[in-house]
Structure 1
Amino acid sequence: MPAATPLPPEKPPAATPVKIKPTAPKRYVVKKGDTLWDIAEHFLHSPWNWPEIWYDNPHIKNPHWIYPGDVLTLYYVNGKPRISITGGPRVSGLPTVILKPSVEYQALPRTEHPIPIQTITPFLVHPRVVPVELFDKAPHIVAAADRRILYSSDNRVYVRGLPADAKQSWYSVYRPGPPLKDPKNGDIIGHEVVYLGDIHIIHRGKIATGVLEHTREEVSAGDRLLPLARKHYDYTFMPRAPKTQIHAQIIALFNSISMVGQYQVVVIDSGTRDGLERGDVLAIDQHGRTINDPYATRQESRQVTLPNEHIGLVMVFRTFKRISYALVMSATKPITVGNLAHNP
């Protein structure tokens, strides 16, 4: 058998030219509630081009963060547009108000996040879709100490599959839901899961012992354990176009049966192995309809498929190996399972 010939390396996607809107302001003052996406849309036709025009202010702490009161100015250097912070409390200095008999300092307001952060926080703390390679190997509950069938907070249960050398003593408990399949080949690439509560492991061994805590629903044998997420998440997202060519599909929706819209969450069938990163923006297309053309000539087929239609944009905010979570940033039509996701 002849040796396999490696495929040529995939060409990086062509950079989208930066286009400033004719209505773009020369000066913009950041307001409370602004998101980076909103601000980028004031200046750009394509908000994901923001990193290409943002100019860091080296004299400002956390120059990538934007605060209410910051004055953003649009200017040009060698014909290329730039935006930077040119005014506001961080540039001019915060006013000091002298009171008797003490001095009061006014603190900086909280940073405004690039996206509506309250929408994605639950998906960062407790996953709703878990990669198959992680979930299938997860430890599982086998029984309760008192032989009951359903368990809740303070019940002692037995766990199988927990590594003997595992140092972590707290885990979250999830119930497996429908499997998610790769639409290209039918392989199972993930599981929808339901968060049930937490468990504290008190005795280790081939069959470990744990105590359930903070249960939201009743737990039963077969429910799986995943490490408890107790870490600080970086909520700074810089929208940008992917560095690699992405050809993906939406494979699941959250909090909806059949369709979602702006600021709702979807799952796509591409992840880190495809080059996706947090902040990557993808265009969403609806498949073109196949219709019957009664006016077709004898040489033409009566069945004709219309072009795909662009219906929205999503931004990736959490990645796994083969799947990613993405937030719908804009939508002109309802977004459904099966819609295409690709470079904008």
Structure 2
Amino acid sequence: MKRAMLIVLFVFIGMTSLAETKEVVHVVKKGDTLWGISGTYLNTPLSWPLLWSRNKEITNPHLIYPGDKVIIRWIGNNVVVKVVPKEKARPVKTIKLSKSPEHMNSVIISPEYSGLIYTSKPITCQGSILKNEDGPGEFATLGDTVSIKIKPEIHPTGRLPIVSRESAIKAGGIIYGYVYRIAALARPVSRVDNMLHAKIMYSVKEVTKGDLLCKDLDIKPLTLAVSRPKLKAMGHIIGIYGETAEIGPLNVVFIDLGKKHGLKDGSLLGIYKAGSLSGPGSGGIQEGKLLVLKVLGESSMALVFESKVPLGRDVLVGDFKP
């Protein structure tokens, strides 16, 4: 997901910190996103852009246009983001934000995280990428045309999601799940028998041979109902998306706790240093906080939305402390 580019301010900030600013007005330019704009102006940019309170009137909070005005207003512990469209025919949008999911009943997750897919079995789709038609290289990106081998009975139209397999989550010789990412959206150009040519209209990462065409994949903002389960057993981190050496805010991790342990999508959990707990509810210093994005039977994918210090894999996952 591209972040906001250079910005235009219509208020004078001077020597005052953004945390003390009551209101900021940003005029949208090409390439801007609400997530990027929020991250630029809000005083905790690592956390604020990720978690959005539910607002049923806003079906796509990411959709803004050049010339629109984004007004960010601080009200107590909350922030209100108001989008005033350049064209009067479009309605004004208001989005309420909170610092952390622990203060909400439900949240909408940023597209860069809702584009991750975690499944217990490998997914099967309607086609696979063969090559980039516009260049000799193995990879394709925005504007390129790719050839896709599809099943004869499939007749894809409209936006076509292209999905890449990222990794299998393994621990102790057990495969807990499979991680995929929506890599791009493509539009059909032509078809001959079971060979489809499609142009990439939007991309998060490069498309390569073997990526999957999943035409029935439902792409929408990830909305989670927040809950605080009481665990009967401690859990462990069994994988980190991107294989970073340390764990901190914005990292996606995988844990060996799932539905059988009482978790649901939207569960809040705490991160503790190994040795600081003798069991669930036994005390100890909470070093970080997790929000479960996707729960499977015996494992889950979760987002680290807060940590006091960089953490290694040798941590425990337990009950959440506010």
Where on the TM-score scale, by shorter chain, does this alignment land: which range?
Answer: 0.5 to 0.7
Aligned residue type for 1:172: P
Residues 283 and 310 of structure 1 are in contact (CA less than 8 Å); yes or no, is this contact kept in structure 2?
no
2:253 to 260, 266, 270: 266
1:145 offset after TM fit, Å?
Answer: 4.7
Query: What does residue range 168-179 of structure 1 map to in structure 2 within 5 Å?
Result: 169-179=158-168
- 1:220 to 2:208 alignment: yes
Question: In the aligned structure 1, how far is the partner of 2:126 from the partner of 2:231?
Answer: 32
Equivalent position SS for 1:278? coil
RMSD, aligned CA = 4.8
Match of 1:133 in 2: 121
Aligned-residue identity in percent? 18
Comparing both structures, which one devotes a greater share of its residues to strand? 2
Match of 2:10 in 1: none
Equivalent position SS for 1:187? strand
Give structure 2 stretches of 5+ with no counterpart. 1-21, 24-41, 48-55, 58-72, 78-91
Question: In the aligned structure 1, how far is the partner of 2:259 from the partner of 2:120?
Answer: 15
Query: What does residue range 266-285 of structure 1 map to in structure 2 within 5 Å?
Result: 266-272=253-259, 274-285=261-272
Deviation string for 1:256-302 (max 9, x for gaps)?
7211234544332444565422331223233349xxxxxxxxxxxxx
- 1:327 to 2:303 alignment: yes
Aligned residue type for 1:341: V
Deviation string for 1:62-83 (max 9, x for gaps)?
9xxxx97689xxxxxxxxxxxx
- 1:191 to 2:179 alignment: yes
TM-score, length basis structure 1? 0.49
TM-score, length basis structure 2? 0.52
Question: In the aligned structure 2, how far is the partner of 1:160 from the partner of 1:274?
Answer: 41
Match of 1:200 in 2: 187
Question: In the aligned structure 2, how far is the partner of 1:242 from the partner of 1:268?
Answer: 15
Aligned residue type for 2:244: I
Match of 1:58 in 2: none
1:316 to 245, 266, 291: 291
1:121 offset after TM fit, Å?
Answer: 0.7
- Compared CA separation, residues 169 and 68, structure 1 to 2 (3 A): same
2:153 to 160, 164, 172: 164
- Compared CA separation, residues 167 and 249, structure 1 to 2 (3 A): farther
Give structure 1 stretches of 5+ with no counterpart. 1-30, 39-60, 72-106, 290-305
Question: In the aligned structure 2, how far is the partner of 1:109 from the partner of 1:118?
Answer: 15
Residues 187 and 201 of structure 2 are in contact (CA less than 8 Å); yes or no, is this contact kept in structure 1?
yes
Aligned residue type for 1:315: L
